[in-house]
Structure 1
Amino acid sequence: MLKAEYKERGPVPQDVIEAVEFTAPAPQHDEILVELQASPINPSDVLTLTGLYGILPPLPAIGGNEGVGKVVSVGEKVEHFKPGQSVLLPVGIGTWSTHIVAPAKKFIPLPDGADPQQLSMLSINPPTASLMLSEFMPLKEGDWVIQNAANSAVGNYLIQLARLRGLKTVNIVRRESLIEPLTKAGADVVLVDGDDLVKRVRKATEKAEIQLAIDAVGGTASNRLADCLASQGTLVNYGMMSGEAAQVSSANLIFKDITVKGFWLAIWFQRATKEAQQALYNELAMLIATGKLKAPIDRIYKVAEIKDAVAYAAQGERNGKVLITA
């Protein structure tokens, strides 16, 4: 048994984490023992290793925040899980571990026969994409949404969910090589970012009134999205891939009355009812299980290869997610 543990944080994420041998305890009366099937490396995981994320767990810690596992054994009082069943791992438990023991109530059963690698990415990015499309602006079929970092995991999910809801997307990327794969994924318009973005967006959408912009980049890229919004539109910022805070001009704030909002899934979970959370996950799990919602996978590493996996995930310029398996 191996766990990917780190005892300190530092600027080079792969240098602070390593695979450590351990022995998982037998599950107690209300616990289950789960073997890891797959767990993704998200940008937030890398930022956590460097100490730059919004919430940092106490040290030492095990990396990973979401994933899927298969039940190995259950405690004597556990009734709703059985060996061989696939389950969604608890968010934030430290999922880069070959085996995990935790109270059964923290796990969510998953549909039989679904791809565990795709389901391993269910907890964070799909709900982020879904909620940003629904929580900030009442959109109707045929409306346009614009986003940057469109090739990111959230960006890919947003494209698919928007299409399923009858919405159209303008997708901003940093390089031309991303245009074809995103178009095949269902993007209506894909454009390379640049100073003349607003002009090209207006041409591509036939001057559509865009009311919602989704920003993962921050810096001046935020204002380029705001430039593309209609009067009284909303820009939602959920990341700062540029390393800079979101910047929106006074002209957009004053004369166009643009609203700027932030989104963090953790805060939504603090406010949402258990029923709302379960309904969201049920909907997304079914879409993934039926193949209507999926994410590209670039590479798969084992827990024993965690240093190489983190180094590869942190470098950027990938064509999909990096997954960790047992």
Structure 2
Amino acid sequence: MPHAITKSHSSEAVAFHKFNIPDTLDPGHVTVKFLATPINPLDMLVLADRYPVKPAHHISGNGVLGYDGVGQVTGVADDDVSGLAPGDIVVPNRFGLGTWRTHAALPASALQKLSEAPKDMAFAAILRITVAPAYCLVEDMAPLRPGDWIVVNAGTSAVAQMVTQFAALRGVRVAHVVRDRPAAELAAVKNALLGLGAGLVLTESELETGDGLAQLQALSVALALDSVFGKAGRALVKALAPGGTYVQLGFLAGPGAQLALDAADLFARNLTMKAFRGTAQLGLRSPAQQRELCDWFVRLFNRGDLKLPPLGLERVDWHVDDAGAAERSAKAAVETARAGALGQRKQVLAFKH
């Protein structure tokens, strides 16, 4: 029997539900079995009722969680379903679809077919909320040229690791700023990021009180990507070269954090300040262009030009034929993500059908 992770409108607690898929599909619908789905920071905002896009599908009055993932079409309605057929690999093309479930009956219009299956379904599971935003950050935020540098904080995040890979395709180097941690763990983090192609790895303390800022200012830092805000964001602003661009894409420092600016930032240094929303940026492209992009990402991955983030993923098995074990592992994964401990990797729920 299919099962899902949901939340009520009045609580941040998650619930585990068993449910049935209808025997007869509505016109324009397909049935899907999900193969993998990530637990993203965005999902934690949904759980806390701090995200504007609410779950679109409900079971017993509870919203089905999960906004990214990959599935396989298992059945189609009798009428036209936009070219989808059983066996097709699909990803969501909108938020709120509810991917934290084993199976679903969904409008075909809410799904995007991948023309080529990825070698690892975990890559397809992070296409919309990790891979595509990283590409847009490199491609859209500043006119980058070979030899330029990007500096990014939250440097072990999956997005930051994908930014490094897309930047490398353009001859652009990336400096990662990571949180301070024990020496052995820090050495492993630095080695992993440098092995992925990072040009420089600094800790927050090296940037704020050591010679890290001087190292960055000696480079041509054209773009700063800030997932933290506050004091950490200010350090990135100071690292930018004249004419550089600062992009805010997260608030890990908390909702009360503030970013200090002075007149020299805007006038003498001529910095550009931007905010980034991945869905809005991707939405500037037509549906056809979005399909082409995702297919291109998969081709790059399959031929080895893109890699899964080595510091970014931890697989959690969801055994479809064992609801009890599935409930325990899925709920534990959600609580791990909610805790947000230092070094916590992005978890991907892997459905074992």
Structure 1 length as normaliser, TM-score?
0.90
Give the one of 206, 226, 238 matched to 2:249.
238
Q: Is 2:3 the partner of 1:8?
A: no
Structure 2 residue identity aligned to 1:210: V
Inter-CA distance 159–143: structure 2 relative to 1 (3 Å threshold): same
Q: Is 2:338 the partner of 1:324?
A: no
Give the one of 64, 67, 89 matched to 1:65.
67
Matches within 5 A, 1:77-88: 77=79, 78=81, 80-88=83-91
Alpha-carbon distance in 1 for matches of 2:292, 2:118: 21
Who is 2:309 aligned against? 295
Alpha-carbon distance in 2 for matches of 1:198, 1:238: 25
Give the one of 109, 112, 115 matched to 2:113.
109
Who is 1:262 aligned against? 275
Alpha-carbon distance in 2 for matches of 1:179, 1:69: 34
Alpha-carbon distance in 2 for matches of 1:255, 1:189: 27
Percent sequence identity over matched residues? 28
Which secondary structure state, in structure 1, belongs to the residue aligned with residue 293 of structure 2? helix
Q: Is 2:18 the partner of 1:21?
A: yes
Q: Is the 8 A contact 1:34 1:70 kept in 2?
A: yes
Report the more deviating stretch, 54-63 or 118-127.
54-63
Inter-CA distance 246–266: structure 2 relative to 1 (3 Å threshold): farther
Give the one of 330, 333, 353 matched to 1:306.
330
1:207 offset after TM fit, Å? 1.3
Q: Identify unmatched segments of 5+ residues in structure 2.
A: 181-185, 319-325
Report the more deviating stretch, 170-179 or 73-82.
73-82
Inter-CA distance 270–34: structure 2 relative to 1 (3 Å threshold): same
Structure 2 residue identity aligned to 1:132: L
Alpha-carbon distance in 2 for matches of 1:42, 1:141: 31
Q: Identify unmatched segments of 5+ residues in structure 1.
A: none
Inter-CA distance 9–143: structure 2 relative to 1 (3 Å threshold): farther
Inter-CA distance 113–148: structure 2 relative to 1 (3 Å threshold): closer
RMSD: 2.3
Q: Is 2:137 the partner of 1:121?
A: no
Who is 2:183 aligned against? none
Alpha-carbon distance in 2 for matches of 1:79, 1:54: 29
Alpha-carbon distance in 1 for matches of 2:233, 2:294: 29
Give the one of 151, 170, 175 matched to 1:170.
175
Structure 2 length as normaliser, TM-score?
0.84
Which secondary structure state, in structure 2, belongs to the residue aligned with residue 87 of structure 1? strand
Alpha-carbon distance in 1 for matches of 2:258, 2:314: 29
Alpha-carbon distance in 1 for matches of 2:314, 2:139: 29
Q: How many residues are aligned here?
A: 321
Q: Is 2:101 the partner of 1:76?
A: no
